[in-house]
Amino acid sequence: MKLKNINITQLLKKYAIRPTKGLGQNFLIDDSALKKIVAAADVSSNDVVLEIGPGLGSLTRYLAAAAKSVVAVEIDKALLGPFAEVVKPFGNIKIINRDILKVDLAELFGVKNYLVVANIPYYITSALLRHLLESKSNPSRIVLTVQKEVAMRICEKPGNMSLLALSVQVFGEPSIVAKIPAGAFYPAPNVDSAVVRIDLFDKPKIEKEELDLFFKIIKAGFSQKRKMLRNTLSSGMSWGKEKTEKLLKDVDIDPSRRAQTLSMDEWGEIVKSVKQ
């Protein structure tokens, strides 16, 4: 289906809307970038898509043209008018005016399989990922458009791991599938963006009942990145150095290593050892 181009500046002027910096509002206007995101999500005619932060509906139209239905969650009430105008030709779109972090996904989707597509500001990335990934109703895959630097952090490997990378990689396999220049947005942000696809595992790499402990341990480990694990874990977990060193050595991890050098599997071994 060929979609009619949207004049974003005219639409904003018509509804007297100024993009809100506090909400990270940079509207994606480049058609080739929009098509890249839909392709990355691998949307089919049987799919139900949850779109987070649909803005003016530019991407929503492409998703609706490819999917069975789209549920769009938008926090900014001021955008509902122009959004409704843009998506009017489509009958398979439902808009919800709420903060996505307060939406009960299990209540919304039940056990139904669904995809997530989102163009989100940096400040909500970590909170949103945990909300999606720890929900009782998990999506099968997630496609995020985020700052390029954030995308790279999500996909880091051992040696340069981060809290954000582990928080994602415990649930799924992330990969950068496209890069989007700042000029593809209005207004143009100061940095380029990237599209990250996260293919979720059938179950997390850490047992669900141990996830709280896992997050507590990795937060302690990364609390002071330049310090050795014997120090960060002993203080952050209140274990003391002697117990910490024994626990790490029992799973063949050198206590002098730093948090960013450990793999997901090694963090998993620490969690198992603590639970024994």
Distances (CA, A) of 269 to 34, 111, 215, 252, 264: 41, 31, 14, 9, 9
Q: Tell me the chain's radius of gyration from C-alpha atoms.
A: 21
Are the C-beta atoms of residues 66 and 44 closer than 8 Å to each other?
yes
Give dist(CA 151, CA 99) in Å, integer. Answer: 23
pLDDT digits (tens, 9 = 90+) for 45-70: 999 999 999 999 999 999 999 999 99
Of 157, 101, 96, 153, the residue nearest 129 (C-alpha) = 101
Domains of the chain with CATH codes? 8-200 (3.40.50.150), 208-275 (1.10.8.100)
Give dist(CA 142, CA 197) in Å, integer. Answer: 6
Pick left, alpha or beta for residue 88 (phi over 0 → left; psi -120 to 50 → alpha; otherwise beta): alpha
pLDDT digits (tens, 9 = 90+) for 114-141: 999 998 877 788 789 889 988 888 899 9
Sorted by sequence, the CB contacts under 8 Å of residue 163 that are 6+ apart come out as 218, 219, 222
Give dist(CA 244, CA 117) in Å, integer. Answer: 41
pLDDT by residue, tens only, the chain of 276 residues: 567 778 888 999 999 998 877 677 889 999 999 999 999 999 999 999 999 999 999 999 999 999 999 999 999 999 999 999 999 999 999 999 999 999 999 999 986 789 999 988 777 887 898 899 888 888 999 999 999 999 999 999 999 999 999 999 999 999 999 999 999 999 999 999 999 999 999 889 999 899 999 999 999 999 998 899 999 999 999 999 999 999 999 999 999 999 999 999 999 999 999 987
